[in-house]
A and B are shown apart, each in its own frame.
Chain A
Amino acid sequence: MASQLLDLKLWRWQRYTALISLPLVLAHVVLQYWVFGIDSANFDAVSARVKGGIILGLDVLLLAAVSGHAFLGLRSMLQDYARSSRTAAWITRATLFAFAATLVYGLAALVVFL
């Protein structure tokens, strides 16, 4: 039963992250191409933007939402091929670990700019 509730929670989060990702990706594209301009993507310019706080917040949310959606989707696809609940559980652990690793790596990359 506990694993079923987890499956339902993760399935719901796949939907929530899809909803959250859409406006964040749109905002990211608008900011990068029209507000800041892609030609100004050098270290100092990006660092100044990230230190501003709002951009950092948006970037962290974008990282979490998009990575979360991607890895939850990957989990769902891989579980199509799981023939036992034990395999399915390992797939869940592996994809959540990969998501966590991606999150940490992305946050570390952002910290560099601070």
Chain B
Amino acid sequence: MADNSASRITLEVFRSEKGRLSRFDVPVPAPASRVLDALLYVREHLDPSLGFRYSCRAGMCGSCALVVNGKEALACQSAIGALGTTTVRLSPLRALPVLHDLMCDMTPFFDTLKRADAAMRPKEPNRKTLRVMPPGEPHRALIEGQNGCLTCGACFSACEWSATRPGYLGPAAMNRVLMLSLDERDARGKSRLATVANESGALRCHGLGNCSQVCPVDIPLREGMQKLKGLLAMEDIS
């Protein structure tokens, strides 16, 4: 679609109650119009029963993650002009139970974070704030690449194992474990590696890299998994 100014698209949306796609003719004011804009248009003008999530509209909360033309993305960050097609097909994230249309039950995804204990356990629990790591500090460089996860679930959806292997932790949880195991402010440190040193964790990852392809904040998840495997190969895990 070379010029999308004041054009129209066909929005195909998976509908959970109907069990099929609904098609909507949606105007696109500009190439930079987002998929979220199209969804909001549908809900306001065509079908108020259409279910989808959004919050910040700025690519920071991760609420609007879904599958756009077969690839996981944030609806608020997906420019319709960049999709290169006049038919945009939307479906809910994979590997998660569908609540309504494009809304999934995120509980299984958040459970992976709980099972991986993907929360900071500060070395100084009585301190009110974490020690700031200024730019350029070597410790910061160790973990910076893994920082910034929105917990949107896009990588979990894209991973081949999330839907086919019950109990698989998934890229987001393991990325968090990697980051925390390298963070010198965390009390658990490398002992965290034991939570992913199994067939539900890093040992099952084949490094396909779907996770890296879909991460909306470009966290190098596949490289992170390689780093994690390197730590598992070298560290004493008991």
Whether A and B are associated in the same complex: the answer reads: yes
- Write the chain B residue with the least CB distance to A15: B233
Which chain B residue shows the least CB distance to A11?
Answer: B203
C-alpha spacing A12/B232, complex, angstroms? 8
A79 interface residue per 8 A CB criterion? yes
Q: How many A-B residue pairs have CB under 8 A?
A: 23
Which of A4, A5, A15, A88 is the most central at the interface, judged by chain B CB atoms within 10 Å of its CB?
A4
Chain A contact residues: helix, strand, loop or mixed: helix
Interface size for chain A: under 10, 10 to 19, 20 to 34, or 35 or more residues? Answer: 10 to 19
Tell me if B's interface is mostly helix, strand, loop or mixed.
Answer: loop
The docked-state distance in angstroms from the alpha carbon of A7 to that of B198 is: 6
List, in ascending order, chain B residues with CB within 8 A of A80's CB: 204, 206
List of A residues within 8 angstroms of B206 by Cβ: 80
A46 and B203 alpha carbons, distance in the complex (Å) = 41
CB distance from A49 to the nearest CB of B (A): 35
A4 to B204, alpha carbons, bound, how many Å?
Answer: 12
Do A12 and B198 touch (CB < 8 A)?
Answer: no
C-alpha spacing A7/B201, complex, angstroms: 11
Q: Is B124 an interface residue (CB 8 A)?
A: no
Near B by CB (< 8 A), chain A positions 1-40 give 4-5, 7-8, 11-12, 15
Residues on the A chain within 8 Å of B197, using CB: 4, 7-8
Q: How far is the CA of A15 from the CA of B238 in the complex (A)?
A: 19
Within 8 A of A (CB), among B2-59: none
With a cutoff of 8 Å between Cβ atoms, the chain B residues found around residue A8 in the complex are: 197-198, 203, 232, 237
CB-CB < 8 A to A79: which residues of B?
199, 204
Q: Looking at the assembled complex, report how far the CB atom of B68 sits from the nearest CB atom of chain A, in whole angstroms.
A: 28
Chain A residues near B204 (CB, 8 Å)? 79-80
The B215-238 residues at the A interface (CB cut-off 8 A) are 232-233, 237-238
In this complex, which of B198, B199, B204, B232 has the most chain A Cβ atoms within 10 angstroms of its Cβ? B199
Q: Are B233 and A7 in contact (CB under 8 A)?
A: no
A4 touches B233 (CB 8 A): no
Q: Chain A contacts of B237 at CB under 8 A?
A: 8
Please measure, in the bound complex, the distance between the C-alpha atom of A88 and the C-alpha atom of B167, giving whole angstroms. 14
Least CB separation from A81: chain B residue:
B164
What's the least CB distance linking A89 to chain B, in Å?
11
Q: Name A residues whose Cβ lies closer than 8 Å to a Cβ of B.
A: 4-5, 7-8, 11-12, 15, 79-80, 88
Task: Please give 14 more A-B residue pairs, beta carbons under 8 A apart, in addition to A12-B233, A79-B199.
Answer: A4-B197, A4-B198, A4-B199, A5-B238, A7-B198, A7-B199, A7-B203, A8-B197, A8-B198, A8-B237, A11-B203, A79-B204, A80-B204, A80-B206
A-B pairs with lowest CB-CB distance, top 10: A4-B198, A8-B197, A11-B203, A7-B199, A12-B233, A15-B233, A7-B203, A7-B198, A8-B237, A79-B199
Pairs across A and B, CB under 8 Å, 7 listed: A4-B197, A4-B198, A7-B198, A7-B199, A8-B232, A15-B233, A88-B199
